[in-house]
Structures are given as C-alpha cells and as structure tokens.
Structure 1
C-alpha cells in the first residue's frame, strides 16, 4: 500500500479507466529520485484490472543505443509488425535492426502507435515507462509522437521521469514530498524502533522523500552527520555505497559489472564476471541485500541509484577491467556497437582502431535514425583519434549528427571545436554549411548568410559543386531576409563558378539569378526562369520531394497557383505513401498557401491544421508560424476578428526572433484584409502602405495585396493613393501573364476609371475571370461591378452580378463580403434569403479530411495510414461526423457536396 499518494493514485486510476472504456491518454509522473515514481507505476500495474500492462524502462547506459527502450516496450507485439502498412512495417523493422534502415524517424513513432493499436485490439493497454529521462532519444521521440496522437484506441501511456525528460504538450503530474503525517506513517512502518530525536531528524532531512525515509535510518549517525550538506539523492546514493562496501569483494565486483552492462543481460554479465574469475554465486549476497534481482535471463537493480552507487564507488582500474571484460563477453556481430562503447570506456589514450569501431557504430545508428546516438559515438571517436585532421573530420560529422538530432547548441560547440583544429578546406566548407544551417535555425539569418559565403569562397577552386550548394543556401537565406544586395551578391558568385551540365544545377543557377532580378524589380527577367523550372517539376523523380517543394514556392511567386497546387499535392502524396513525415509539414505549408491563394479557404485551414499539429508533434516549431499565417488570412476572409488578430500577432512575434519576411507578409496582409472586410478602410490602407514601404517591399506580398490597397483607397475617395499600388500590380500582372491577374488588373482600373471607361474594364475583367480558377477573386469583382451597376441605376444587371458574388462568398464562408453583397442586393430591390446550410462547415478540419477520404471508398486503415492516425481515431471522427452530415452509411458520403 502506498502512503500519502491518494491524489496521484486517483489520477492514474482515471487514466486507466479511460483506457478501459476505449479512450486513450498519457501522463508524465515527474519528480526527483526516490520520490515514488516507480512505486506509482508498480501500483498502476497491480491495480489495473481491465487493462493489459506493457513494461518499458530507460537504462542510463543504453542511452546511446537507438530504439533500445522502444524495443523493450514493444517486444510482446513484434510478431504483429507484418499487419502494419508496409512503410510503417519497414520503418519499425529497420529501427530494430530486422531489415533495411528507415528513411524517416518520425514514421517509427507512427508505427509504434499502430503496433500498440494492433495489440489493443485484444483489449486495452497500459504502457508503463520508468526512468524515461534515460531512454535513448529515438525511442523517446517515437513514444512521445505516439502519445500526442492517441485518441480512441484504448491505450494509456504512463511515463515516470526526472526533470531532464522533455515532453512538451503532454499532461504532467508533479510529485512532491510526502506531508509530515504521511512521512511519519511510512517511517514508523519501515523503521518502528527509532527514538523521537532520530525520527525528527530523519523527517526533517528527508523532505518527505519516500526513498530517503527508508534508507536514511540505515546510515550511521556519524555518516549522516557528515553528509547533511549533500543533495538528497546523493545522500541516498552514499547510503547505498556504504551498504555495498560491507558485501564480499567478489559480490562488489559482480555488482560493478552489472552496473556497467548496457542491457541487464544476465548471460553477458556472468560471462564477463567469469573473465574476472567470478562465478554466479557472487550474486547471492547482492540479491539477498535487495540490490539486484535475476529473472527470465535479465538482471535488474532495485533502484537506479543502486546502479549508480555500484559504479561510482569502484576504483578507476576496477571500472576499466569491468569494461574490458564486458567487451570480451559481447562477441556476437549484433553486439558490435555495445562492444565498441565498452572498449572506448576501457581505453586510456588515443586509439584509432577503437575510434574507427565507434565511427562504424555511429553509421549504423544514423541508418536507424539514431542521430543523437551517432553524435555521441562520433564525438567519443574524435576524442580517441590520434591525428588532428581525422579528429576534425569526426567532430564535424558529430556536429552534423547533433544538428540532425535537434541539439543545435551542442552541434555549434562541436562545429567550433572542429573548425579550430582542422585545416582541410573541404571539412571547413562542410562545417560552414552546418554552421549556416544552425545560425539560420536559431534566427541569426544575417550571420548564416556570411558563414555560407565564406565557406563557398574557401572551396571555390577545389569543389565547384560543393561551393554552388553553399551559395544556393546563401541565396535562400538572403531571400528570406528580403535583402536584394545579398541575393545579388550570392547569385553573382554562383554564376561565376565553372559548373558543368553534369552538376545538374543549371536551372537553379538561373533561378538564383532570377530571384535577384525579382528583388531588384526586374520582373520581365525574373519570371521566365521560374516558369522554366515549374515546367520540368513533374519530371523530377520521386525521392527529390524537397526539390519539388522549392519549385512550388517559385510557382507562388510567379502566380502559377494551379501548377503550384499540383506540385504540392504530388509532394504530399509521395510523403504520405513513403511515410516521410519529417518533410511533410514543409509540403503542407506550401500546399496551404496555394489553397489560400486559390480561394480554397476550407481546404487551406484543413491542411494548415494538420500541418500545425504534425509540426508540433515532431518538433518543427519554426513551421508553426507558416501555418498560423495562413490560418490568419482565412480568419480575415471569414471575419473572425479575434482569431485573425491572435494568429497574426503570434506570427509577427515569431518573426521578431526569426526574421523571415515572407512569413510576416501573410500576417500583415491578413490584418489589412480583416480591416478591409470590416469596412475600416483607413486602417487597412495605412497598414498596406506601411507594409509596402518596409522590408516586405521586395517580396511578392505587396504585389498580391495591391488590389486590396487600391480598393481601400477608392472607398476612402483617395484615388491618388491608389496610383502607386496600381503601377506595382500592373508591372507584375503584365510580366506574369495569367488570366486571373489580368482580370484583377482590369477590376482595379475600373475602380479608378471614369464611368465611360470603366464599363470596358469590367467587361474585360469578366472575360479574363472566365479563363481563371480563382472564384473568390471573381466574386469580389462581381461585387464591385454590381455596386457600380447599382449606382448607375442598372439594377437588373447589378442583381445578376451580386447574386453570383453572394453565392460564392457564402460557399467560401467569407461572411463580411457576403453581408456586403446581401446589403447591395437589398438596395437593388431584391429580397435576400440565406442559402442552404453548408454541410462541410459543420465539420472540424480533421473530420472533413477523414470524411473526404472515406467518401472515396478506402478503408479506415488506409485513411489512418495517409493521415498518420490510428484506425480507431479515424472511426471516432466518422462516428462524430455522420450525424452532422445527416448520413448513416459510408456509401452516402459519395453523394454529398463536401467542398
């Protein structure tokens, strides 16, 4: 029975009850060593009547072995891997070393969720993960990804962790010390014979920590007195060390070998002990003292601090001997990585063969998406490397692996160390690429640009293609800064390199030069190279999705939204089919932007909602601003003022620390569009004018919001303030040559022209709109044309235009514009009624995604694989959507208009 943990037990019981009822959830138990986290896990396992427990644990010495903790948890379900969708099955088999390596580490998290869901088909699950702070990073990422996507599977995930375990976004329960009453009860139960003075001193010293209440009474008064200044976990550890010190010498050595072993493998420990001339009998005293237990071929410590104490109290030469013995015992090829780590721990100087073995272990870790493990192995290999050049190379590789693992701070440290000791230009250039990437991701975009230029210059004579790739990154950085001079400089250096067709970069060199031309305002030279790349995008082979996303961005700049949409869809389909989760948020960001431009606002929000959640799940928090800027634009169109302001202001705040002009452009445009839709024309005009004068003036947004700026000026009766945005939009629309752009240009000219000239512009706008695929822009033209016709007392003609505009606005959910169209229709003498309810508008973005896929006839399992959900979550969304849509079967979905 647990003393003083009634509240914690109640929360755990509620979590388990939800799982037993078919719902899912997770909880982090967080607290200092000895506070009772493990005891609560044991209580959960014992008390759970209607759920099946699965056990996992993080082991400190396994933290460098990718997916070790995940494998331990999922062992009971490995025979079901074959039931998973093929990409997930391959990913999980690769993670566990059963097949070729996975391509996307986040796919392994989805595969883990799917495998747990398969197991939950037999009944609800309770997954208990102890010492989560010591899980290897890939396992932790996979389980946290799964935890964030739990919904209706009947799975409860319960983690016990110290402070060092990052689990953003998951519910936590922090364990504090027991109150004095409960602490006193526990102390009396475990040590009934204590005198009042000693009892009071232990209660005060323990801080209510249950393990301290159990262990401190075993310390002598003298020992306790000398250690009162130590932190509590250290004092408990010292108590364990004192207890180990009275065990037989052979038992102490056996405990040391067990403490240094990676996996608690009893056979390995005994074989290593045999090398040290010990036999299994040496374990007996340790078991009887409660330090270890042996069962099922595994050896486990009673508490992690016991393991730490057994390793810490040993002398240096004893630890070296134990590591050598363990390395000798790990003689199977599958144990090569563990053997390399033990050899590295046993060596006292530089050693190239061991360093090479660690580098090989790092390569295997990276193949299994174990970037943090690879970084640790390469860093240790570098320390063991005799030659400076080779040491610098390994440090550079370690820095790259650390950056891939998301540890930018440590990657920066390793890169600087490599730069200081290395003099090889190619290694230095590789480091420049990495340092530029780190600086960009940390918001130092100017620094990133200079680092990349310097790196390219250092190898321009040695590696033309390598220098070109650095310069292409420099162009991209300068573009995000909206710095014409920096883009021009980078593009000029790139053009000066003696590249050949075999380098495969001709189109991108041209695009870089075109980007410089665009920022310089030379649109006639800028747009044709963009169009050339867009035309060949479909021929780019699969596997180069990132390249197609870059081209898709150029489609957005050149106004070719239809082709951009097609490219973005192809990228996302490739990511979904191959399970490339890490690249998917970037593809979704580009897709959402194109959907927004095309007026497919509901689709844009659906894409952005999934993308924002996925980006948060996998740690790509810098992508969230992209999605929220799109969502802010749609909120402006729909007239949701508070949502628009909150989303836009968060985006602007993000850009203040990460200066990417393109992102803030949509946020500023959203706020101006909100004011325009609400009739605050002066505020809208001032915002557009300020944005067009600022850093955004070189980007595409001022061209695209110029028609809104013109409308605001006209409605204020200030046509002179529309002249500059009209010239700006006209220059772009003429160079772009798209029908929709011509239509909007004629609309703008009609607003500014005398009545006898306006008629021709309205007619040409209508003809151009008929060739284009932008219904929202066409409806805005119809609204403005209808207003003009009504003022000209041509009410019958105006009603035709206004009815068409109203229908489109209602379908788009563009409430402010729809209300304006209704008001104009009433003024034109028509009785206006609201249209039929929009069924799709009643669904959440994820429900709409699921329903649309279900309408195509595919199964829940296939939908789940596409959306990176579990089949039960898909079923839950359909269960909620059917009543909203007024249907009872899947076949009825195909007959609905779902936008």
Structure 2
C-alpha cells in the first residue's frame, strides 16, 4: 500500500485503463531520491492486469554504454524485430549489437523502437516502466523519448521515473512531493511500529516526508545531527553495509561495479578475489541484492551508489581488476574496468577505450564515444595521438548534440594539435559548434580561417569548408562574406575529379545573387537545376541545393519535382537528417504553386521532425512558411504567433530566410484585409534589413506595387515595379511576365496589360496569381462601369480563392462581385479536405496510392495503429467508409 499517493495512483490507473482501451499515454514522474518514484512504478506493475510489462532501469555506471537501457527494455520482444520495415529492423539490430550492420541515425532507431512497441501491442496492450531515467544512456533516452512523443492509438502506456535533469520536452509530467504529516506517520507506523515516541518524532522530523528515509533511518539513526537527504539515506545504507561480513561487502561492491547483473561474471570475479557464492546469499539475506535466474540486481538504486562509494580505494581497484579479467570477450565493459585500474598513461586501456568508442559511434552512441575518447586521451602519453583522440571526442560530443562539451574538448585538443590538418579539423568543429549556438558569423569566419590552413596541402578539404562558409554567408544575407568565400574557392583551382564543381558553382551563383541582385545570377544558376534533375538517387545535398536554386530562378515545378523526390527517398529509407531541409524546399515550392494545404501538411511534418532531431536552424524557415499559409487562410492569430517565433529565431541566429517569409506573411495579411497603407509601410521597412537580399524580396515586389497603388501612393510603386521587372526579364517565365503585366496595369493603366496577363497565366501554374489578376481586372472593369464583364472575372477569382482556401481573398472577391450587381456571391463548394488536419491529409494522400498502414507509418514516422486511427477520423470527414471508396476520390492538387 502506498501512503499519501492517491492522486498519483489515479493518474497511473487512468493511463493503464487508456492502454486497455487502445489509447496510448505517457507520463514522466519527477522527484527527489527516495521520494517514491520506484514504488509508484511498482504500483503500476501491480495494477497492470491484462497488460504485458516491459521494464528498464537506468544505471549510473552504465550511462556510457550506448543502448544498454533500450536493450534491457526491448529484450523480451526482440523476436518481433523481423516484422519491422527493413531499414528500421537493420537500424535497431545494429544499435543493439544484434548484427554487424553500422548504426543508422538516431531518428530511425527511435522510429524502430516505436514500431517494435506498436508491433508488440498488436498482441495486446503493454506498459513500459523506465526507472531512474536520469541515468539512461543518451541513445536509449533519445529513442524512447522519440517513441513517446509519437504514441497515439497503439494501446501503450509508457511511464518514466526520473530526478530533475532528465529532459522530456512536450511530454506530460508530474512531481512527487514529500508525504504530508499524516501519510508520513502512517508509513512509519506501518514499517516501524515499535519505535519509542521521542525517537519516532525525531525520525518524522528528520525524514522531511521522504518515504525511503522513513523506512531506512529507523534502522540506523542515532543522536548525531541531521544530514541532508539523500546523503542521510546513503549514510544509512553505509551503516548497514558495515555490519556485514567482509566477503558479502566485497560481493556487493562487485555487483555495484558490474552493471549488467551477470551472475556468471560476478562469480568468476568473486573467485579471483577469494570469495564464493555464499557471499551472494548473505547479501541477498541482508536485503541488498535480489537474484532472479542468472541476473543479480539491487533492491533499491540508491543501494548501488552507497555500496560503490563505501568501498576503499584498494577494494575498488581490486574489484575493477577482477572484473576486467572476468569480462574477457565483453570488450566495452572490459575497456572501462581496464581504465579504472590505470594509474598513469596506459596504451592498452586507451586503445581498448578507442575501439569501444568506435563501436559506440557505429551504433549511434556519440555521447558514449565522446566519454570513451576523452578518457582514452587522459591515458595517452604521445602528444599528437592525444590531440587526435581529444579532437575525435569533440566531434563525437558535437554529434551527440552537446555543443558546450564539444567546445571544451576542442579547446583542450587545440593545446596539443600542431599539424595543419588537425588545426583545420578543429576549426571546422568549432565552426559547427558556433553555428549550433546561433553564432553564424563566427562559424563562417572559422571555416574561412581553417580552409586557409590546408589550402595548399589539401585543397579538397579547404573547398568543402569554403562551401560551408558560403552557405552560412548566404543564410546571413552577407554579400561581403559570401563574395570572399567565392573568391577563395576559385583560387583553389580545384579539378573536375575533385567532385566539387556543382557546389563551387552554387557558391559563385549565390554570391552573384547577393552582390549583383537575383536577376544577375539567374544565368549562372540554371545549370545547377538541370544537374540536380539528372540525379535520380542519393546525393541529397546536391539535389536539395538544386531544388533551392530552382526556386531562385522561378522554376517551381522543378523545385517541387526535385524536393519531392528527395522527401520520398528519405522517408522510404528512414534518412531523417535531410528531411527538414527537404520539406523546406518542397513546402515553399507548393506555396508558390498555390498548393497551400500541401504546403501546410509538409511544413508541419518538417517542423515536427526538425524539433525531434534537434535542427533549430530549420524550424525558423518552416515556421515562416506556415506563417505565410496562415496569412493566406486569414488566420490572424496563428500568423502573428508564427511570425513572432521567426523573429526570435532571427534574433538568436541572424539567419534571414525564415524572417523573410514571416515578414512577407504579415504584409500579405494586411493586403488581403484591405490594410494597404500598413502593407506598403511594412514591406518598405523590410527592405531596410537583411531580407532585401532574399528571393522573397523579388516575389513580394508585386504586393508592394498593389498595396502602394491601392493606398493612393503610386510613386511608392516605382521601385518595386523596377525590381520585379529586372528579375522577370532575366527569369523569362510566363507566370512572372503575367504578374509584371498586372503590376503595369495598376501603375500605368491600360486594359491591354490585364488581358495580356490573363493570356500568359498558364492553367494551374500559379492559380493564386491568376486569381489576383482576375480580381484586380474585375475591380477595374467595375470602376469603368462594365459590370457584366467584371462579374465574369470576379466569379473566376472567387472560385479559385475558394478552392485554394484563401478566405480573406475570397471575401474581398465576393464583396466586389456583389458591388458589381450579383445579389448573392457564390458560396464555396464543400471542401472535403478542409477539415483534415495536416497529418490526416498526409496519411490520406498516401493511402490513396495503395500503401498499407505499415508502409504509411514507415514513411511518416508513426506507428501503423496511428495511421489506422487517423484514417478512421478522416473517413467521415471525406464522406467515405472504406479504402476502396477513398481510392475513388479526386483529392486534387491543393
């Protein structure tokens, strides 16, 4: 019975009942040591009738063994791995050391974890209990948190118990507080009913309502002054240990140092120290150890820490030595025990740790690799090898998402590195850390400086660094820095066989774009698009760069084609790292093409993935696209919220692309609402900042023209008209020529500009632009008192705006149509897609192609049960009852 935990027990009961009903739920229980987290998990296990229980416990001394905790949790269900999609199965088996395959990215391993849990739940609901989550190894924590954030309708309850410091953003959590006086007294009476009254009052006072203290202190408390918890509890365990025979104490110390609880290893190590199996029996009888089959565990996690720290130096030294020999063949654990007995430079231990780090990296255990390499460096006498190991540790720390740690390791490595290649590698690493921290200017300068160090010795490495520097300068809208990178790249005189031609040309074209203006760069950019279109598989970076350039030259069909191919390939193969930027280019192409619902779905998915895998520099761009969609849909609140987030990202990083979308979105919302003065003022202000170098400044020139003319300030339309005219002349695209003619009609007058524009607007190429031309022409005709002609164009505009979901524009067109003499403007036709959430739309579109729930789940990184759940919700919205009926629907392109 748990005292004083009624509310917490109800939360657990609700979670378990939800799993039984097919709903998934997550809870992170926080609390101090001894506060009752483990007991609450025990309650969950006791109440989990009808649910399969999977358990794992983080171990402090096992935190550097990648996927140790995940393997412990999933071990009972690993037979089902073969049912997963092949990329997921391979990733998980590689991570858990079940195959020789190299580890995949952590995103795919997290997805495989989700899929395996969902596959297991197909046989009945399950509950996963993870104790001491603050001690989970980082890769296990990443995989479990990823799965937790995507649980939906699988019938899985997942409960973490952790101390403060365990980060679980976005997950429901609760905190266990100390027991109140009544509950504390009840617990003490239950566990120690015969205490003298004065002693009892002192225990209640010193325990502070901590349940473990209430249980343990009566056994060892004395007249000494109170000590803070959990120190007092650890002291209590230490006192209990001191009363045990020497052999039992040594066996408990062995168990504390041997994290896997392998009975055979403990017996072999104990024999080497002269103690036998009877010592285990004494430790078990004393309430420290528990034996289940061939596994030895501590009754409470704090006992492990107390046992380890109670040992003397010579005892710990002997224990580590014995375990190093007993673990022969278990190389990762053995390496750490060898390191523990190294009293100075020790190349055997250092090499063992280096090999362990390499295995950890192959399994995506970058944090563990960093720790192993750092310790290996401490045991290294050779100066250059020491620098190499510290540098590798810094790279691993950066890969693990720990920029501060990476920075510190890089600085230490810099004290020993003296050859140019090492110096350049460290500069590249420091640049990466600076970028992650938002110091993009610093990152650029470090890359340029590092490239100088190896320009003569290794021009290819220098070229790669300068390409990255150019990309940073482009994102900063910094013409001077971008021009410098381009000049230095040309000076390297790279050969065609170096394979950097496309990247170098991209930097040169980007430099021309910022220095000469977008129009001046178009001729140099077009070949990059064709290069990207010819690549049919792999080379994600080159293809995404090509798609981005396609957007710069106004070829949105090519942009969408290339980026959609990369997205599909990455989704099918589980390659998460490129998905956020691929979704950026895909969603922006869809937005330009008027496919607003698709842009919303893809940008939302990209944002979700960018958040999950930690790509903060992509989130601002995706939020900017979503702000633009919110503006065109007339969602003022959402648009303002997202624009504010973009401004925060820009303030932190200086990266202007997301800001450009957000500021344009705010102006578009003003324009659609008839706030013309505010719109033109806003866009004029935008051009005073870094956005003037972004391609959006070309595209919103037409909005500036319209806002200025409608605000009664045609003089303010001259500059944006000239800006767009220069770009359109270089772009040579029908849609841009049509928009230019529309702008000329507004500024110069002349019906012929409107009619010529409508002839150039291709069917479906950019429907939003066609609708806006129809609207403005209809308005002009109405003012000319040609109402019947006006109504035809206004109806056309209204129909397109309705179809696109451009609500404020449709309202404007409807008002004009009524003013033109149409008593009732046509209402929007029922839109079966409008009520779908972005995720439901993604799932429905994949289901229409005939993919199974499992295949859809693999592509969208959710479980098949979640796919089924969202289809179930989508069917009535679409007016269908089955996949067969769904396949007959025309879902359109928008």
2:878 pairs with one of 885, 889, 899: 885
Q: Which residue of 1 aligns with 2:543?
A: 548
Work out the CA distance in 2 between the residues paired with 1:556 and 1:122: 48
Deviation at 1:789, TM superposition (A): 2.1
Equivalent position to 1:712, from 707, 715, 718? 707
1:638 CA displacement: 1.2
Of 762, 766, 772, which aligns to 2:758? 766
Aligned to 1:437: 432
Matches within 5 A, 1:473-872: 473-523=468-518, 525-540=520-535, 542-754=537-749, 758-770=750-762, 773-831=765-823, 832-872=825-865
The alpha-carbon deviation at position 524 of structure 1 amounts to: 5.1
Q: Distance in 2 between matches of 1:47 and 1:508?
A: 60
Matched, 1:270 2:272: no
Q: Which of 428, 453, 456 in structure 1 is aligned with 2:451?
A: 456
Structure 2 SS opposite 1:232: coil
1:307 and 2:304 are equivalent in the alignment: yes
Q: Does 1:409 align with 2:409?
A: no
Following superposition, the deviation at residue 796 of structure 1 comes to 3.1
**2:96 is equivalent to residue 77 of structure 1:** no
What residue in structure 2 maps to residue 193 of structure 1?
A: 194
Stretch of structure 1 that moved more, 714-723 or 101-110? 101-110
Paired residue for 1:177? 178
Contact 1:4 1:178 in 2 (8 A): yes
Distance in 2 of aligned mates of 1:382 and 1:202: 48
Question: How far apart in 2 are the matches of 1:895 and 1:782?
Answer: 32
CA separation in 1, counterparts of 2:758 and 2:198?
94
When residues 522 and 746 of structure 1 are mapped into structure 2, their CA distance, relative to the original with a 3 A threshold, is same
Instruction: Report the 3-state secondary structure (helix = DSSP H, G, I; strand = E; otherwise coil) of the residue aligned with 1:102.
Output: coil
Q: Please tell me whether residue 875 in structure 1 is matched to residue 868 in structure 2.
A: yes
Is the 1:378–1:397 contact (alpha carbons within 8 Å) kept by the matching residues of 2? yes
TM-superposed CA distance for 1:362, in Å, is 0.9
Cα deviation, 1:240-266, whole Å, max 9, x if unaligned, reads: 111111211111111111110121111
Q: Report the equivalent of 1:38.
A: 38
Matched, 1:141 2:179: no
What is the CA-CA distance between 1:138 and the residue it aligns to?
0.7
Once residues 543 and 55 of structure 1 are traced to their aligned partners in structure 2, the CA distance between those partners, rounded to angstroms, is: 39
1:329 aligns with 2:322: no
Note if 1:419 corresponds to 2:429.
no
SS at match of 2:872: helix
CA deviation profile, 1:612-639 (whole Å, cap 9, x unmatched) = 2222233334432222211110111111
Q: Deviation at 1:523?
A: 4.2
Instruction: Identify if the C-alpha distance between structure 1 residues 15 and 522 changes in structure 2 by more than 3 Å, giving closer, same or farther.
Output: closer
- How far off is 1:280 after superposition? 0.7
1:795-816, Cα deviation, whole Å (9 max, x unpaired):
3332222222111100111111
Aligned counterpart, 2:51: 51
Q: How many residues align?
A: 890
What is the SS of the residue equivalent to 1:53? strand
Give, in whole Å, the separation in 2 of the partners of 1:90 and 1:523.
45
Which residue in 2 is equivalent to 1:62?
A: 62
- Local SS of the residue matching 2:234: helix
CA distance in 2, matches of 1:248, 1:190: 26
Look up the match of 2:107: 106
Q: Deviations over 1:713-736 (max 9, x none)?
A: 010121110011111111111112
Is residue 246 of structure 1 aligned with residue 216 of structure 2? no
Which residue matches 1:279?
A: 276
Alpha-carbon distance in 1 for matches of 2:702, 2:637: 24
Other-structure match for 2:222: 221
Structure 1 residue 772, shift from structure 2 partner: 7.0
Bigger drift between 363-372 and 348-357 goes to 348-357
Using the alignment, how far apart are the partners of 1:501 and 1:28 within structure 2? 55
Determine helix, strand or coil for the equivalent of 2:29: strand
SS in 2 for 1:173: strand
CA separation in 2, counterparts of 1:248 and 1:543? 64
Distance 2:671 2:724 in 1: 18
**Contact 1:740–1:771, Cα closer than 8 Å, also in 2:** no
Give 1:212 deviation, angstroms.
Answer: 0.6
Q: Is the 8 A contact 1:739 1:771 kept in 2?
A: no
Distance in 1 separating the partners of 2:622 and 2:504: 29
Q: Residue 270 of structure 1 contacts residue 280 of structure 1 at CA under 8 Å; is this kept in 2?
A: yes
Q: Distance in 2 between matches of 1:18 and 1:348?
A: 54
Cα distance, 1:891 vs structure 2: 1.1
Any idea what SS the aligned residue of 2:598 has?
helix
User: Matched residues in 2 for 1:583 and 1:316: separation?
Assistant: 49
CA contact (8 A) 1:798 1:828 kept: yes
Q: In 2, distance between residues paired with 1:525 and 1:798?
A: 39
Q: Does structure 1 retain, via aligned residues, the 8 Å contact 2:768–2:801?
A: yes
SS at match of 1:836: coil
2:11 maps to 11
Q: 1:48 to 1:480 in 2, by over 3 A?
A: same
Give the distance between the partners of 1:304 and 1:547, measured in 2 at CA: 50
CA contact (8 A) 1:95 1:369 kept: yes
Shift of the alpha carbon at 1:525? 4.3
Instruction: Quote the Cα distance in structure 2 between the aligned partners of 1:464 and 1:621.
Output: 31
1:516-554 Cα distance to aligned partner (Å, 9 max, x none): 111112445422222111101133363321332222222
Alignment partner, residue 204 of structure 2? 203
Contact 1:29 1:174 (C-alpha < 8 Å) held by counterparts: yes
Deviates more, 1:567-576 or 1:610-619: 610-619
| Closer, same or farther: CA 820–652 of 1 in aligned 2, 3 Å | same
Query: Which residue number corresponds to residue 160 of structure 1?
Result: 161
**Residues 529 and 550 in structure 2, CA contact (< 8 A), matched pair in contact too:** yes
Indicate if the aligned counterparts of 1:107 and 1:581 stay in contact, CA closer than 8 A.
yes
Aligned counterparts of 1:549 and 1:355: Cα–Cα separation in 2: 41
1:577 Cα deviation after fit = 1.1
C-alpha contact (below 8 Å) 2:451/2:465 kept by paired residues: yes
Q: CA deviation at 1:771?
A: 6.9
Q: For residues 738-766 of structure 1, give each alpha carbon's deviation from its aligned partner in whole angstroms, at most 9, with x where no partner exists.
A: 22111111111111113xxx223223212
Report the equivalent of 1:91: 91
Equivalent of 1:346 in 333, 341, 345:
341
User: Which stretch shifts more, 635-644 or 548-557?
Assistant: 548-557
> SS of 2:230's equivalent?
helix
* 4+ long deviations beyond 4 Å: 522-525
CA distance in 1, matches of 2:424, 2:458: 10
Instruction: Give the TM-score of the pair, scaled to structure 1.
Output: 0.97
The CA distance in 1 between the partners of 2:815 and 2:183, in whole Å, is 70
What stretches of structure 2 of length at least 5 have no aligned partner?
A: none
Residues 739 and 772 of structure 1 are in contact (CA less than 8 Å); yes or no, is this contact kept in structure 2?
Answer: no
